[in-house]
């Protein structure tokens, strides 16, 4: 029996050792396999880099063999009737390679600099500045030579090789009959936007201008050699960048001058444009439409406009974003009265027209905007602010399993005589500020009748916080567009309040937190 047990123990030990040995051999095999894979990958990368180096060298030699005036690529920054392709593909040993070429003019200080709008730009973009003694004060032909840059990529868009060179014309420089354009791309803080795509177009010259470049580390893109167009303001500029707003210049409209105008180009002169684009989110505003009693209102087609203002005149309220012009693309709220607006430029937006009485409807019935009350931001009521999608974004609001930068409650009514409120200012009072016992504020809107005697004002304004209510003393005029009120809030605690406006037997209730519809009492 003892011998039999000893045999079993030995058999058991052998089985454990066998399993352990197989495991160790497996680990060693995996290590060798990983090493082998790494070596194969490294060899493939080296092979592709070698191929890429050959491709960029061959492309550069080909370009250097061409006439100087032929050195311009499609979609690049140099104007040409017959541009070369900016991108070509090659297949070597079943591997696809992409070769990209960019060609740009350079202004060199050896014969002076063009007329840059600022000294800082001249110092940065006129190569070898300052100009040597005896150079002209202004270079009449600033496109002194060209820089060619060629890059090769593999199918995963990994850079394999790059090469660049300078190319000069063989003939002596003569006075130019073309102009240049300097575009400065910034954000709302004035900081440069790097890597923005800047496109310049003009269809009134032949051949048409269709150029493109990217802004450098100072936010600048420069276009030389542009054909003059001195009367039509036909040069348009479009600036865009990933996760930023897109902005395009526009022509004047009669006497209205654009905030971002199209440009003329003059021979032997530089034109200059500053384009402001802003970090932008896809999900902009979550919407909720309700009746004046607070019930959800389904099927509302909402007229919205805002963002970039088109013209400088304060009396004109045309905006780049207008979902009724040139075509009707108004969103419709769902069965719960909910909806959303996407890809809006950060800025101010209004609903149902300038006075809340235009193009908001349900099944053809006109609805008036009694009030637009935001959930987020620093200001109450209209306009509703879509914040910038900055590196420190504000609180987000959920709708349909997505997060939005802003949320607004739109209180709608079919009654044209219902009190409407567009703004209330100021909307905050400090308990330590000395004015809380007689806090003065102004309400603007429509259907707010009043007169110069508070006792007979046709509109009643009440401020409520929990069980505490204070009635304001108000004056105004019979037009019903503005009322000025004073209210005692000394008994109110720190926090938000609700505001009610009663007029013509109708009551408009502006909600407190979490919405921003009332007056906030602070320390």
Alpha-carbon distance of 259 to 310, in angstroms, equals 6
Among 36-50, 157-171, 249-263, 409-423, the range scoring the smallest mean pLDDT is: 36-50
The answer to whether the peptide bond before residue 426 is cis (omega within 30 degrees of 0) is yes
Alpha-carbon distance of 345 to 324, in angstroms, equals 17
The reported pLDDT for the residue numbered 434 is: 86
Q: Residue 76: which of 229, 206, 200, 216 has the closest Cα? A: 200
Q: Residue 388: which of 276, 277, 246, 280 has the closest Cα? A: 280
pLDDT in tens, 240-283: 999 999 999 999 999 999 999 999 999 988 899 999 999 999 99
| Residue 456: Cβ-neighbour burial (10 angstroms; 0-12, 13-18, 19+) | exposed
Angle at 131 between CA 127 and CA 135, to 5 degrees: 130
Average pLDDT across the chain, whole number: 91
283-413 maps to CATH 2.60.40? yes
Q: Does 25 or 159 have the greater pLDDT score?
A: 159
422-522 maps to CATH 2.40.50.140? no
Q: Is residue 21 very low, low, confident or very high in pLDDT (cuts 50, 70, 90)?
A: confident
Name the DSSP letter for residue 115.
-
pLDDT of 1 strictly over 50: no
Q: What is the dihedral of CA 303, 308, 310, 313, to 10 degrees?
A: 100
The reported pLDDT for the residue numbered 2 is: 47
Beta carbons of 222 and 182 less than 8 angstroms apart: yes
Beta carbons of 234 and 217 less than 8 angstroms apart: no
The reported pLDDT for the residue numbered 165 is: 94
- Model pTM score: 0.81
Name the DSSP letter for residue 436.
G
pLDDT of 203 strictly over 60: yes
The reported pLDDT for the residue numbered 98 is: 96
Q: What is the dihedral of CA 398, 399, 404, 406, to 10 degrees?
A: -90
Q: Is residue 172 very low, low, confident or very high in pLDDT (cuts 50, 70, 90)?
A: low
Cα distance between the two ends of the chain: 92
pLDDT of 155 strictly over 50: yes
Q: Is residue 196 very low, low, confident or very high in pLDDT (cuts 50, 70, 90)?
A: very high
Question: Could you tell me where in the chain the CATH 2.60.40.10 domains are found?
Answer: 177-278, 422-522
Angle at 124 between CA 123 and CA 127, to 5 degrees: 85
Pick the CATH number of 177-278 from 3.40.190.10, 2.60.40.10, 3.40.50.80, 3.20.20.105: 2.60.40.10
Q: Does 395 or 76 have the greater pLDDT score?
A: 76
Percent of residues, the chain, with pLDDT higher than 70: 93
Beta carbons of 397 and 349 less than 8 angstroms apart: no
Alpha-carbon distance of 367 to 86, in angstroms, equals 53
The reported pLDDT for the residue numbered 38 is: 61
Residue 347 half-sphere exposure toward CB, CA atoms < 13 A: 20
The mean pLDDT of 16-23, rounded to a whole number, is 76
Residue 112 half-sphere exposure toward CB, CA atoms < 13 A: 14
Alpha-carbon distance of 182 to 271, in angstroms, equals 6
Residue in this structure with the two tokens 């100072």, named with its chain if needed? 218
Tokens linked to 51: 């191929």
Give the helix/strand (H/E) hosting 463.
Answer: strand 459-465
The answer to whether the peptide bond before residue 326 is cis (omega within 30 degrees of 0) is yes
Residue 345 pairs in a beta bridge with: none
pLDDT of 87 strictly over 80: yes
Name the DSSP letter for residue 345.
P
The reported pLDDT for the residue numbered 402 is: 92
The reported pLDDT for the residue numbered 36 is: 61
Give the helix/strand (H/E) hosting 160.
Answer: strand 159-167
Q: Does 75 or 460 have the greater pLDDT score?
A: 460
Q: Is residue 30 very low, low, confident or very high in pLDDT (cuts 50, 70, 90)?
A: confident
pLDDT of 398 strictly over 70: yes
Name the DSSP letter for residue 70.
G
pLDDT in tens, 350-397: 999 999 999 999 999 999 999 999 999 888 898 999 998 875 656 689
Q: Is residue 171 very low, low, confident or very high in pLDDT (cuts 50, 70, 90)?
A: low
Q: How far is CA 378 from CA 5, 120, 383, 459, 465, in A?
A: 85, 37, 11, 27, 20
Give the helix/strand (H/E) hosting 13.
Answer: helix 2-64
């Amino acid at each position: 029996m003892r011998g039999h047990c000893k045999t079993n123990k030995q058999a058991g030990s052998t089985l454990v050792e066998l399993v352990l040995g197989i495991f160790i051999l497996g680990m060693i095999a995996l290590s060798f396999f990983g090493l082998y894979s790494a070596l194969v990958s490294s060899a493939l990368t080296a092979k592709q880099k070698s191929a890429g180096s050959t491709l960029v060298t061959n492309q550069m030699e080909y370009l250097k063999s061409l006439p100087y005036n032929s050195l311009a690529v499609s979609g690049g920054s140099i104007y040409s009737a017959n541009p070369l392709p900016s991108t070509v593909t090659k297949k070597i040993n079943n591997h696809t390679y992409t070769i990209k070429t960019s060609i740009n003019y350079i202004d060199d200080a050896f014969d002076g600099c063009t007329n840059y709008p600022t000294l800082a730009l001249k110092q940065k973009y006129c190569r070898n500045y300052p100009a040597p003694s005896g150079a002209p004060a202004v270079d009449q032909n600033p496109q002194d030579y060209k820089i060619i840059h060629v890059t090769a990529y593999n199918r995963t868009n990994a850079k394999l090789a790059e090469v660049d060179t300078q190319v000069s014309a063989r003939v002596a420089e003569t006075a130019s009959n073309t102009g240049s354009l300097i575009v400065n791309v910034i954000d709302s803080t004035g900081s440069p936007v790097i890597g923005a795509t800047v496109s310049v177009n003009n269809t009134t010259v032949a051949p048409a201008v269709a150029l493109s470049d990217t802004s450098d580390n100072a936010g600048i893109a420069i276009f030389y050699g542009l054909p003059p167009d001195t009367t039509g303001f036909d040069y348009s500029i479009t600036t865009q960048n990933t996760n930023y707003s897109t902005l395009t210049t526009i022509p004047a409209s009669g006497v209205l001058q654009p905030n971002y105008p199209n440009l003329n180009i003059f021979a032997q002169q530089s034109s200059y444009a500053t384009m402001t684009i802003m970090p932008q989110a896809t999900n902009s505003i979550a919407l909720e439409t309700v009746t004046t009693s607070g019930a959800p209102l389904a099927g509302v087609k909402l007229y919205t406009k805002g963002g970039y203002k088109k013209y400088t005149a304060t009396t004109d309220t045309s905006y780049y974003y207008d979902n009724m012009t040139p075509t009707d693309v108004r969103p419709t709220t769902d069965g719960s009265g909910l909806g959303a607006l996407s890809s809006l430029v950060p800025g101010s937006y209004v609903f149902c027209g300038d006075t809340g009485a235009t193009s908001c409807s349900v099944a053809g019935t006109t609805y008036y905007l009694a009030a637009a009350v935001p959930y987020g931001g620093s200001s109450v009521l209209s306009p509703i602010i879509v914040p910038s999608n900055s590196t420190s974004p504000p609180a987000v609001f959920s709708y349909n399993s997505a997060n939005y930068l802003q949320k607004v409650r739109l209180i709608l009514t079919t009654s044209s005589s219902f009190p409407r409120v567009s703004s209330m200012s100021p909307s905050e009072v400090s308990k330590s500020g000395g004015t809380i016992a007689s806090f003065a504020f102004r309400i603007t809107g429509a259907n707010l009748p009043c007169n110069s005697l508070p006792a007979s004002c046709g509109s009643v304004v009440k401020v409520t916080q929990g069980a505490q209510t204070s009635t304001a003393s108000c004056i105004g005029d019979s037009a019903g567009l503005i009322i000025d009120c004073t209210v005692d809030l000394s008994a109110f605690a720190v926090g938000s309040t609700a505001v009610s406006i009663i007029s013509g037997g109708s009551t408009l209730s502006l909600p407190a937190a979490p919405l921003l519809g009332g007056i906030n009492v602070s320390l």
